[in-house]
């Protein structure tokens, strides 16, 4: 496979995992825009949207959450095998389900969007954390239900220490490093602050 930007590129699944409010969707949107600007076929599977359409009727029990993650993984695998860059943004709180998806998808990049719980709660515009701390929401990840952080993710983003643009740049660089994106020529400049 020649890496000149014209030959077929390998599909991949870029899997963002982390607490609600960590910044997964925001970073995913910036990365998606960059991939599209580079002419890369890309599809986004956002956890909230998938749950509404593909996993409607599932509860927030551990079993149903794992089913939801495995369904997302199934679709991501099909798209990846077809040469698409797939961006998944889902809390995916349990290690067992994430690891199962990783084993099924050959070209899998796990990104842990790491943020302290108190920071995620401060960012919560919907007031879900407040309700969870008050006991009004059961099985809320990070409060009344565990989040199992990845032991060896491909990339860790500390979103309380960097901007979404800085985080997105690290993701793009990781995709280039793994050979899923062509590295732009040195004279190509990207203005990450305007994304």
Catalytic residue set: 92
d(CA 18, CA 120): 10
Residue 139 CA, chain-centre distance (Å), reads: 21
User: What angle is formed at CA 155 by the lines to CA 151 and CA 156, rounded to 5 degrees?
Assistant: 75
Per-residue burial over 155-177, b if 16 or more Cβ lie within 10 Å, else e, is bebebeeeebbebbbbbbebbee
From the list 71, 66, 70, the residue with the least C-alpha distance to 54 is 71
């Amino acid at each position: 496979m020649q890496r000149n930007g014209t030959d077929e590129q390998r599909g991949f699944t870029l899997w963002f995992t982390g607490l609600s409010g960590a910044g997964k969707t925001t970073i995913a949107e910036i990365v998606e825009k960059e991939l599209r600007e580079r002419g890369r076929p890309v599809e986004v599977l956002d956890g909230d949207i998938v749950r509404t359409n593909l996993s409607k009727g599932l509860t927030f029990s551990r079993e149903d959450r794992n089913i939801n993650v495995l369904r997302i993984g199934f679709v991501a695998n099909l798209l990846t095998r077809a040469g698409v860059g797939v961006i998944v943004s889902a809390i995916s709180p349990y290690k067992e389900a994430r690891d199962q998806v990783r084993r099924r998808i050959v070209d899998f990049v796990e990104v842990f969007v790491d943020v302290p719980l108190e920071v995620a709660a401060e960012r919560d515009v919907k007031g879900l954390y407040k309700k969870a701390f008050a006991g009004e929401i059961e099985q809320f990840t990070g409060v009344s239900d565990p989040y199992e952080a990845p032991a060896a993710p491909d990339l860790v983003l500390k979103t309380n220490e960097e901007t979404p643009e800085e985080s997105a740049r690290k993701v793009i660089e990781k995709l280039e490093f793994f050979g899923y994106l062509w590295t732009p020529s040195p004279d190509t400049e990207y203005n990450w602050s305007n994304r």
